[in-house]
Structure 1
Amino acid sequence: MNQKTSTESVRFAPLALALALALALLALLGLVAISAHAEVDKADDAGSAQKKTQLDDARQERNIFSEVDTNESEEVMVLDDVSDDFQNMEKREEKQVLLEEQKTAFAEDRAKRLDAYRSFLEKKRNSITVRAKEHQEERRLKQTTYRAALSLSAQVRLGQYAERIVIRMDAALVRLEQIAERIATRIEKTEEKGVDLTDAKVELANVRILLEDAHEYVSLIGEVSTETLTSETPKQQMQDIRDAVELAKDCINSIRGALTETVKLIRAGIEKETRTEEEVKVEGIEDDLTTATSTETETTSDTQ
């Protein structure tokens, strides 16, 4: 029986060996598969990491390009703003130059007109003065042989007439000077509010010149009337008095016109800012100008 058992053991030994080898081979194949799967997973992880890195790099590049485009757009906007500011500055400078030229032209025109008018008045004044001196010389030549042709009462009436006219015109000039001062004050206060009244100031300066001339012409009335009182030909020299009165009256009328023009120029400046309280006060000055002409009307009726 022991022999039979040994025979069976010898017969099954190769089979067991083959089975063991098969199991070992399967184990080896399992290890190889596990190792290969691990390598695949590792390769996949490396590929994913590389792809993620590439995506991050691409995203950074896009961000860089986006920032570059943004910076370029901002630079273009800044350049446009600088160009607009430069153009606006040029326009403001051109407008300022044009405004200064207009102001200069206005002042020059007013100065020329004033000079022409003053020259006209001065010629009339010289004519009256020359005639008065001629009559004075004639009177002096005849003074030794003739007495004054005017009676005492006539001399009194003539003196009163000339004195009355001089008083009225002096009063009119005083009122016009007061109005001029009020206008000057109004101009100063209005300019403090930022209103440009350069043209009105030019016209007011012309008014002051005419006021000085008017005082001289009114004084001329007194001088001519004094010469007439002792003249040998008083009726002829009465025309000298009328001419002197007319000269002073024309100058006073010109002053009133210049003041009225000044008020209009003030209103033109104020209308750009406001038309409320300022306009009412300017109109009050115009009322005073109308009142100031009443003396001129009375003087005109006296000389006719």
Structure 2
Amino acid sequence: MFSKIKIGDMAKLNQLSIQTLRYYDEKNLLKPIEVDSATGFRYYSIEQSSLLDTIQLLKALHFSLEEIRSFLYDDTNEQSLEQLLIKKQLVMREQIQELTNQMRWINHFQKGKQILESTEGETKIVVTSFARRNFYLYRIPKNVYEMSEGEYEFYLRSFKNQLKEKDFRGIFSCVGTVMNHRDFLNGHFSSKQMFLEKQIIPLEGFQTYEAKNGLYAVMYCKGFKNELTVLHYFREALLIDFADDYQVVGDYLCEVVDEFPEQAREGKREMLIRMQVRVEKK
């Protein structure tokens, strides 16, 4: 009864389609034990189900059919199943890192929207605490605050391309800038450093910047064009209204916390900026 099974019955027993078994035959993965020369009907043996289970298992682990065929039938292939699984495990770990990174950025954008809604129209400074943060750092030859929008976009491309040369596989978005705290205090607004938050997938050989944990004076503004105007107010408020309680001890960070893709179709880069500088209580 089980030594010669019609293709339809074999497919039903293994919860596969007839088309799948035909395809496996074409790909030399699972050949029928007999093909009727007159009718072309394919017949299988129940014992071949173990091979089908192996094929389905490897497919579930995202091995390609070519990889499966090579493992099963290529005598020159010296890799054991264990070696193949170790390789696949490494690939899957990278995929998990990529998915984790994508989830972090989705959460990042969602938080940005929430911040935008809660701070819309506000011009106040708050002092809050941040954990240590690490960024990829990119130095540029021109002061960001003296750039046109076109120049700004050009240096963003340069930053992105240099990351790509280092095999960066993360998400390039929400690029910020750093200003030395002395320049900030002196009102000499100059920034020649761009940064991007470090991501889950490690990137070797790229300069980094660390924003230390501690208290930060924070204010929000919307748009690349508006930052310089608001920056004057931000600095003066810190040096006058907050001077009795806090002193500036860190660099000024222009951290982009959200971008608005709906503006991109009009050739505009709109963003929500978190203006911040590390402070200490006096």
TM score, norm. by length of structure 1: 0.27
- Would you tell me which structure has more strand in proportion to its own residues? 2
- Would you tell me which structure has more helix in proportion to its own residues? 1
- Which of 1 and 2 has higher RCO (CA within 8 Å, sep 6+)? 1
